[in-house]
Amino acid sequence: MIERSRRDAGQAFPIYVVMVAGLLFLVFAFFAVGKAAALRNGAQGAADAAALAAANEARENFEAGFLASLPEDLLDAYLQSHPVIGCPAAQGFAAANQADVTGCYTYPGGYRDRIKVEVEGRKPVNSSVLPGSETTRAKATATALIEFRCKWRSVDLNRDSIRDIFFFTCKGGQMLEIRPSSPPPWSQVSKILYDVHLVDN
């Protein structure tokens, strides 16, 4: 009886080893998946920040063309054909979130412009149980919308075909008056005239 028990124990030992090895593999696999998910979330945060930074920069770049269009009442023409330049700001915000911009694309759309940013995380998954993970990095994409949010009317006080005052009525009931001859600081009015937010890609 004693000899048979020893034989059974000897036969069971390899099974235990295989079970423990399998459990360890599952633990490492779950850890790798969790790390990959965390890196993916980090990359998405970097993409979101980069897209919003690019959109905010584009909004700041609208100042010269926007104000120049007012005196001759060319605002509508400007809004429909203005350039969108904002990608240079994206990399700094991506880098602050441990990622690099791999693509930045602008899509002028008149009153609704889009900037799409693609990023890649700097840290690889690097798991011993996932082949090729030592060079696999998280990727993400985000798109920001720059939306002109106001209606307006203009006044020619001197009847010389030069518009002297613009009255803007914006979403949320905000009112704004701009005199082309002495416009307010763009930083004070741009956030009233334009809304910047993330949208689905």
For residue 107, tell me if it sits in a domain. Answer: yes
C-alpha span between 56 and 196 (Å, rounded): 7
Does this model's pTM top 0.85? My answer is: no
* pLDDT tens per residue, range 66-93: 999 999 999 999 999 999 999 999 999 9
pLDDT (0 to 100) of residue 16? 61
Alpha carbon 13 to its chain centroid, in Å, reads 54
Neighbours of 62 (CB within 10 A): 23
- On whether residue 118 sits in a domain, the answer given is yes
Cβ-contact 58, 113 below 8 angstroms = yes
Domain of residue 79 covers 2-147
How many separate domains does the chain show? 1
What is the average pLDDT across 162-179? Answer: 95
Q: What's the confidence (pLDDT) of residue 142?
A: 98
**87 HSE (CA, 13 A, CB side):** 15
Residue 155 maps to a domain: no
Residues 14-47: tens digit of each pLDDT: 666 566 655 555 555 565 566 677 888 899 999 9
Domain assignment present for residue 182? The answer is no
In a domain, 163, yes or no: no
The mean pLDDT of 165-192, rounded to a whole number, is: 95
Establish if 200 belongs to a structural domain. Answer: no
- For residue 170, being part of any structural domain is answered with no
Q: Which amino acid is at 88?
A: P
Domain annotation covers residue 153: no
Average pLDDT of span 105-112: 93
Mean pLDDT of 176-197: 96
Answer yes or no: is pLDDT of 63 > 90.
yes
